[in-house]
Amino acid sequence: MTSAYRINYQLRAHKRDPLIEFIKGLLLTPFILHSKPRKPVFEPERSTLIGDSDLESLYEEIPDRPNIDYQEEDEPLMDANLNRYLEIMKSVEVMIEEHRRKAKKGVPEHSRLHRIVPSVASFFTPLPLAAAFLDANAKHSIAARRFVPPSFNDIRRLLNTAQVMAIAPTVSLITFDGDMTLYDDGMSFSDSSPLISLLITLMRANLRVAIVTAAGYPGDAAKYEERIAGLLRAFTDQNLPDEMLKRFFVLGGECNYLFHCEWKTSESGKRAVGLTYIQPEAYQPAEMLAWSQGDIQELLDVAEENLRRCAKAMNLKASVLRKSRAVGIYPTVPGVKIAREQLDECVLSTQQRLLEYQQRNTKPPIPFCAFNGGNDVFVDIGNKLIGVQVLQRYLGAAPEATLHVGDQFLSTGNDFATRSSCCTLWIVNPEETQNVLMELTPLLKYPDESFKPTPVES
């Protein structure tokens, strides 16, 4: 039907994930139909005065119900609900497998899941959703809830768990967003971060680990070293061997600046672990190397003009920052937050403006990423989809063996595009990153059989 609700739903599409909404809708049906209120009973002294057959009529006749209490059902509701939820999870598993089979044949649009969720992304591995739901239910007692149905975050977390279970035996490359994934927004890697030991554990398991961040400092290793100083100090203090350090990378500016990790000796003779810039010709494909500086600056000019227009139209106290391969706006006054709705407006407006510009331009379009950074908006040349693909080619990792962890998987976020090239985990803060890595590390294989992952307190 046409209604204000339906119109509002369409306008808010950039704040929804269609697959999660689909699964949430499926789980809502058994919750509504079967999570019934508890049975009303009467106090003993009251119920002895009347026959059992009159209890229901008394319940209806007395508005204030002074002597009514409640008791649990004879059979636990949780068990019945759990079976219903698991049945739904198994059905979605089957739909995902059918979608994967159709995709391998080159016709993913013929799958039943695609017909129901047209924007559904690729699945590079099976997803054991039923097993993941059992794990999530053990932690959060989802099936025991009577008044709060399975939520967006419940489903997001169980999808993460299912992906961890599926990819653990084969994963060879794991990439991370920076802000709000490994450290708080605008902050740096601290020496006390519990993620440090987990990242080192991944490297011990022969995984290549990369930070893929929007932060763009052209060829400036020192700037990136500042952001991950605590992690690099831990590498130094633990005297990690060169073989392990070669498995750690930083890719900045979405896909534009690649660094590898190695031991360095300062002028004073002190050895420490640092980052070394890798020249673009060594890892970038020909199509990236063909992007001309003139075309890049022309696209950034269009983006800057639109961002300035948006800031003026909404009276934002924001400054413009222009870089060689990025442009963005951020609050002029430190500590002042820009409303999420205003940031999203800047993103969506700029995306549309750049697409219109590219449609009118006869030159081959240069990929870009316009995204809401939490308290700023930036337009970068390239995107994390290209970034992950560059690493996959450079390091020889297949999509089904690559895992990207990030917090920006809505359509206005810069992690969203990676879904087309690898498996993903959607987290919301560094604490959730810690949790998913604690799920992953015990499932990995380690060359040194005597090594066991160090337990980390959650």
| Residues that are catalytic | 177, 179
What angle, 0 to 180 degrees and rounded to 10, lies between the N-to-C axes of helices 293-313 and 340-360? 140
User: In angstroms, what is the C-alpha Rg of the chain?
Assistant: 26
Exposure on the CB side of residue 395, measured as CA atoms within 13 A: 28
Phi and psi dihedrals of 130, rounded to 5? -65, -45
From the centroid of its chain, how far is CA 272?
Answer: 32
Helix (H, G, I), strand (E, B) or coil at 321: strand
Sort strands 208-212 and 173-176 into parallel, antiparallel or unpaired: parallel
Q: 354-361 long-range contacts, Cβ below 8 Å, gap at least 24?
A: 354/299, 354/302, 354/303, 354/306, 354/379, 357/299, 357/302, 358/299
Joined together, the tokens standing for residue 203 give: 């490297």
- Asked whether the beta carbons of 162 and 130 are under 8 A apart, the reply is no
Listed in sequence order, the DSSP H helices in 168-209 are 195-204
Q: Which two tokens stand for residue 378?
A: 């930036």
